[in-house]
C-alpha cells in the first residue's frame, strides 16, 4: 500500500521512509508497527506536544513536519 504524502510548502522537517511496512499498510498509517518508536520519539524530542497515534499522522503538518516515502514517490 502506498500511503498519501503529508507535505506542504514551508515545512521545518520532512521524514522520508522507504515503504510502508506490513502493519503500517494494514493500518493505513505511517509507522504503525508494534514497537516502532517513531511517534514516541517525536514527542520525546519536543516536536509534538503529545504522542500522536499513527492514525493521526496528518496532524504532523500542524507541527511543521511532513511524511513521504521513496517507494511511493517513485511509483507515482
Domain boundaries, the chain: 13-74
Going by the DSSP 8-state scheme, the letter that residue 61 receives in this structure is G
pTM for this structure? 0.87
Largest CA distance in the chain: 34
12: pLDDT confidence band, cut at 50, 70 and 90? very high
Pick the CATH number of 13-74 from 1.10.599.10, 3.40.470.10, 3.40.50.300, 1.10.20.10: 3.40.470.10
Instruction: Note the pLDDT of residue 74.
Output: 44
72: pLDDT confidence band, cut at 50, 70 and 90? low
Whether the predicted pLDDT of 76 surpasses 50: no
- Average model confidence (pLDDT) across the chain: 91
- Sign of the dihedral through C-alpha 51, 45, 26, 64: positive
Amino acid at each position: 500500500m502506498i500511503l498519501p504524502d503529508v507535505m506542504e510548502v514551508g515545512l521545518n522537517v520532512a521524514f522520508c521512509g522507504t515503504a510502508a511496512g506490513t502493519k503500517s499498510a494494514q493500518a493505513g498509517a505511517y509507522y504503525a508497527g508494534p514497537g516502532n518508536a517513531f511517534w514516541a520519539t517525536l514527542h520525546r524530542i519536543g516536536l509534538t506536544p503529545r504522542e500522536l497515534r499513527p492514525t493521526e499522522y496528518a496532524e504532523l503538518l500542524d507541527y511543521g513536519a511532513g511524511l513521504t516515502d521513496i517507494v511511493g514517490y517513485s511509483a507515482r
